[in-house]
Structure 1
Amino acid sequence: MRSTAQPTHEQQQTVPRKTRVMSSSSGTATNRDAATRTTQKQKRVKHVLSRKVSFSAAKGKPRTITSRDAKDRQAPQAVSVLNRSTPGSFVDARKMPSEDVVRKTLDETTQSMGVVVRPKVLDFANRHKERRSVEVRTVLVRAGIIAAVIAAIAGIIWVLFFSPMLRLDASNITVSGANDWVNETRIMSIARTQAGKSLLLVSDAAVEDDLKNIPGVSQAEATKKFPNKFDVSIVSQRPAAMLKKRGTDQLTAVDSRGRILNSVEGKKVDGIPVIEVDDAADAVKSKGVLAALTILDALPEWMRSEVTQVTAATQDSIITKLNTGVTVDWGSAADLKLKLAVVDKIINDPNILGNKTEVNVSAPQRPIIK
């Protein structure tokens, strides 16, 4: 058997030295990793604090984070230790704050700054949902605004054109100015064609035009009075003449344009000239009768009221008889103003008329007095 060689004293001393070298190398690597982590934490804290300080300085009001928790108050001390360290220098990892403290510091800093921090990695599905939600809300808000505007406009239209507040009722229509020759019932029937409408839709011009077409109406005015009243005022004239059928007592009133008035039964005819005709309906189409009506309409009221009889055989032979017994031969309706002036001067001057009873002004430049 071979004897086992015993290690010498020098060898025994060498083995522990290698072990110590390996242990020292392992410790150095561990310290290097710790220093790297510490440096990374230090950079994160510095970055957060620098953002906080720059944000507070921009607003002009520095802000300080304070906490009543003793653990939280250790964070600024650790930061100060980091601030005093320089790159490459030894940092004691035992004095560094834990990851929980750093995370809490980051959360408090971002909250105090009022900044909403988005995650670095975006969730596109959630982002699309959020955008769709915003678009839907926008559409709903706009639709609500449009619906409100339409409802408001519809309400205004209903109030102005369909509500009872502005609706014209027949009982709120008044008529004034009618006389014995212009029938008030006919005036009212025309005005009531506008009943049931909103006063905004009532056509006062149309009513006035219809009223002026009534025989005996010389002027007409329709006035709307809000909210729901309608006044009609007319200026009615007396008949220009009474058409008397020969051999009877039947009288028909006509105006200056030859239009037959509504009724003459039981009406007073004093002071209204009378024209004898064969038939009233045919007479108003006769040129002679129309010429006589033109002359009668032009007479001054005092002379017209004295006319008791009118003869209109033709349009060139119009003769009127006055209640004073004087007969005036007008001829035609031509040069009517000159003829009226000549007749007025002759009748009102006793030195000219004298005892004569016939005046012929068919040629007004050379009147004939008999």
Structure 2
Amino acid sequence: MTADRFFERSRSEKRRRWLRIALGVLAVAAVGGLVWLVWFSSVLTVRDVEVAGRTTLKESQVLRAAQVPKGRPLARVDVDAIEGRVSALNRVDTVEVSRSWPHTLSITVVERKAVMWARLNGQVRGIDRNGIAYRSYASPPDGLLEAAIDIPDARDRLQTSEALAAVVVEIGERDAALRREIESVTAATKDSIELRLTKGRTVVWGSSADGRRKLQVLEALLRIEATRYDVSAPDQPTTTP
């Protein structure tokens, strides 16, 4: 009786051992099959490309820049490389590329938006909130401020454009009434920003720092009749009759 129990227990342990081995083999095979299906087979390949978010760009321009490898397994598509190629387009501010299983690659772009314009090298150029001159206009666009940025050095011009754009955007977001009074903006350096207001008035803004404080001080100063208001040092503002 003891021998029979021992024999039965031994057979049961062998069955369990073989079952574990079989399950392990099946698991490995399943994982291998899944890897093959996703990474190497033609079942989950790129068949469609969707482009969203564009406003002035043509879909064909985005697709041409993206160079999406149709027919390649979706999992093996280098989305970072595609984002890099699309973001190189002048009018693209940001881009996100994502996989939409089983067969679609989605490209979502956010285009740059001009916040001011300037004459650069004889052209009317739209400048975005990052100070980048990214597009040309046939004539000065309505609704945008003119920016005078006569700076030969490209790096200094970009830094100054960025500072100017930051001021224009902040004023537009925080003080719409003041924004309507601004006729143009100018700067010789990133720290010498000036606003040309209606009625021949000038505001010396200085750098783009402390914008909120400068707006608060300027609101009070504008109640004084003057031709020049200096808030470049907001704790020590001055006016000139």
TM-score range, shorter chain: 0.5 to 0.7
Summarize the Cα distance change of 1:257–1:184 in structure 2 as closer, same or farther, 3 Å threshold. farther
Deviations 1:6-29, CA, capped at 9 Å, x for gaps: xxxxxxxxxxxxxxxxxxxxxxxx
Identify the residue that residue 51 of structure 2 maps to in structure 1: 175
Query: Aligned match of 2:212 in 326, 337, 361?
Result: 337
Q: Where does the alignment leave 5 or more consecutive residues of structure 2 unmatched?
A: 1-24
Identify the residue that residue 43 of structure 2 maps to in structure 1: 165
Identify the residue that residue 189 of structure 1 maps to in structure 2: 64
Measure, in 1, the Cα distance between the counterparts of 2:140 and 2:196: 20
Deviations 1:23-76, CA, capped at 9 Å, x for gaps: xxxxxxxxxxxxxxxxxxxxxxxxxxxxxxxxxxxxxxxxxxxxxxxxxxxxxx
Q: Contact 1:353 / 1:369 at 8 angstroms: preserved in 2?
A: no
Measure, in 2, the Cα distance between the counterparts of 1:161 and 1:258: 42
Q: Contact 1:240 / 1:272 at 8 angstroms: preserved in 2?
A: yes
Output the amino acid matched with 1:200.
Answer: A
Number of aligned residue pairs: 211
Structural mapping, 1:245-264, within 5 Å = 245=120, 248=122, 250-261=123-134, 263-264=135-136
Corresponding position: 1:346 with 2:223: no
- Larger strand share, 1 or 2: 2
What SS class does the counterpart of residue 188 from structure 1 fall into? helix
Please, what is the CA RMSD of the aligned residues? 3.8
Measure, in 2, the Cα distance between the counterparts of 1:315 and 1:289: 7
Q: Contact 2:65 / 2:85 at 8 angstroms: preserved in 1?
A: yes
TM-score (norm 1): 0.46
Deviations 1:156-201, CA, capped at 9 Å, x for gaps: 55542344432213xx212222233x67555333433354421112
Deviation of residue 266 (structure 1)?
4.3
Structural mapping, 1:217-232, within 5 Å = 217-232=92-107
Identify the residue that residue 239 of structure 1 maps to in structure 2: 114
Measure, in 1, the Cα distance between the counterparts of 2:214 and 2:72: 52
Measure, in 2, the Cα distance between the counterparts of 1:192 and 1:305: 44
Q: Contact 1:272 / 1:308 at 8 angstroms: preserved in 2?
A: no
Larger radius of gyration: 1
Identify the residue that residue 126 of structure 1 maps to in structure 2: none
Q: Contact 1:308 / 1:322 at 8 angstroms: preserved in 2?
A: yes
- Larger helix share, 1 or 2: 1
Structural mapping, 1:1-370, within 5 Å = 157-169=35-47, 172-180=48-56, 185-208=60-83, 211=86, 217-245=92-120, 248=122, 250-261=123-134, 263-266=135-138, 269-278=141-150, 282-283=153-154, 285-286=156-157, 287-301=159-173, 302=176, 303-304=178-179, 307-322=182-197, 326-343=201-218, 345-346=219-220, 353=223, 355-370=225-240
Summarize the Cα distance change of 1:297–1:189 in structure 2 as closer, same or farther, 3 Å threshold. farther
Q: Contact 2:46 / 2:74 at 8 angstroms: preserved in 1?
A: yes
Output the amino acid matched with 2:205.
Answer: W
TM-score (norm 2): 0.66
What SS class does the counterpart of residue 160 from structure 1 fall into? helix
Summarize the Cα distance change of 1:297–1:283 in structure 2 as closer, same or farther, 3 Å threshold. farther
Deviation of residue 244 (structure 1)?
0.7
Q: Contact 1:194 / 1:203 at 8 angstroms: preserved in 2?
A: no
Deviation of residue 228 (structure 1)?
0.8
What SS class does the counterpart of residue 308 from structure 1 fall into? strand
Q: Contact 1:218 / 1:234 at 8 angstroms: preserved in 2?
A: yes
Output the amino acid matched with 1:178.
Answer: R
What SS class does the counterpart of residue 168 from structure 1 fall into? coil
Measure, in 1, the Cα distance between the counterparts of 2:86 and 2:203: 35
**With CA pairs under 8 Å and 6+ residues apart, which has the higher RCO, 1 or 2?**
2
Deviation of residue 227 (structure 1)?
1.1
Measure, in 2, the Cα distance between the counterparts of 1:179 and 1:299: 25
Q: Contact 1:288 / 1:315 at 8 angstroms: preserved in 2?
A: yes
What SS class does the counterpart of residue 148 from structure 2 fall into? strand
Output the amino acid matched with 1:230.
Answer: L
Measure, in 2, the Cα distance between the counterparts of 1:184 and 1:269: 24
Q: Where does the alignment leave 5 or more consecutive residues of structure 1 unmatched?
A: 1-145
Q: Percent identity?
A: 28
